[in-house]
Amino acid sequence: MPRIAYVNGRYVPHRDASVHIEDRGYQFADGVYEVCEISRGYIIDMPGHLDRLDRSLRELSIGWPVSRKALEMILGEVVRRNRVRDGLVYLQVTRGVARRDHVFPPASVRPALVVTAKSTDPAVSARRAEAGVSVITVPDNRWERVDIKTVGLLPNVLARQKAREAGAYEAWFVGTDGKVTEGSSTNAWIVSQDGRLVTRPAEHGILRGITRGTVIKVAEQLGLKIEERAFTVEEAKAAREAFITSATSIVLPVVSIDGAAVANGHPGSVALSLRAAFFDVAEKCLA
Ligand code: PMP
């Protein structure tokens, strides 16, 4: 079965799916995106992802390419046409196609919309969670508006590649103050020695992860104490647990940081219980 993509109004096989060479996403990274998890045929936390998309678009003065309702239908349609039961749906909106010029094109230029979906094996991610993952730390060299989910991801790509080359799963960005901001595509958390969940406030320096928001709700239901504050690399290394969250990884225990084991080097019980309860709390929309 060929994979099907949605490109500006049409559902097309991947081999025929293309955008113009003067798409501003291609030339300027002038666009935004969202990734939603699909679990057992449900799109997870879609309202939260579309609210964040709305915010990203507004921050950059890019219009909605289609109505929110239409986009919800397109996401479902792409998931169904690709017969994805477990996996991811990706959407990208750029400022559209115009002769290359830094200045915004005229209002008549329509934003461009691409949607793709792919299947992933839930057993692989379950095994990853059972084993835990390693992270390395890298200096945070990104721009200041990382709260906007733009397709300008070069620092994130380089950080993630560095992690891969070091045999680690994720790279944590660290600010000049020695405090962890977030992962290349995940939010970072620790469980302090006195059992509190610690994660950076989502005001500056990080993307407000949708999974992060749902995990806060899960933690509240489990009666855990949450402290929204930044933490240092040293604090993370000395923590009782560490973990990462994102739509693609849900909750993944971190068992080593820059080669140093976190606690006993095994996934912690808090991270695993947050992961286990996640889908009971997350919003599920049938695709
Ligand atoms: N931070 C960054 C830099 C990311 O790219 C992502 C994934 N999109 C996240 C955090 C986690 O966000 P979410 O839970 O919405 O996937």
Candidates 69, 149, 162, 237; catalytic one: 149
DSSP 14: G
Backbone angles phi, psi at 78, to 5 degrees: -65, -40
- Residues 201-205 have a mean pLDDT of 90
Distance CA 236, CA 74 (A): 41
| pLDDT at site 203 | 86
- Report how far ligand 1's centroid is from the alpha carbon of 246 (Å): 5
**pLDDT (tens digit per residue) in 152-194:** 999 999 999 999 999 999 999 999 999 999 999 999 999 999 9
**pLDDT (tens digit per residue) in 116-157:** 999 999 999 999 999 999 999 999 999 999 999 999 999 999
The residue whose two tokens read 């993370």 is 236
- Report how far ligand 1's centroid is from the alpha carbon of 150 (Å): 11
Compute how many other C-beta atoms are within 10 angstroms of the C-beta atom of residue 137: 20
| pLDDT at site 204 | 79
Output the pTM of the full model: 0.97
In a 10 Å sphere around its CB, with 0-12 CB exposed, 13-18 middle and 19+ buried, how is residue 67 labelled?
exposed
Distance CA 10, CA 222 (A): 44
- Report how far ligand 1's centroid is from the alpha carbon of 1 (Å): 30
| pLDDT at site 18 | 97
Q: Which residues line ligand 1 (CB under 6 A)?
A: 35, 156, 182, 185-187, 207, 209-212, 245-247
**Does the pLDDT value for residue 2 go beyond 90?**
no
From 273, 4, 251, 11, select the one nearest 132 (Cα to Cα). 251
Tell me whether residue 149 is one of the annotated catalytic residues.
yes
Q: Is 271 helix (H, G, I), strand (E, B) or coil?
A: helix
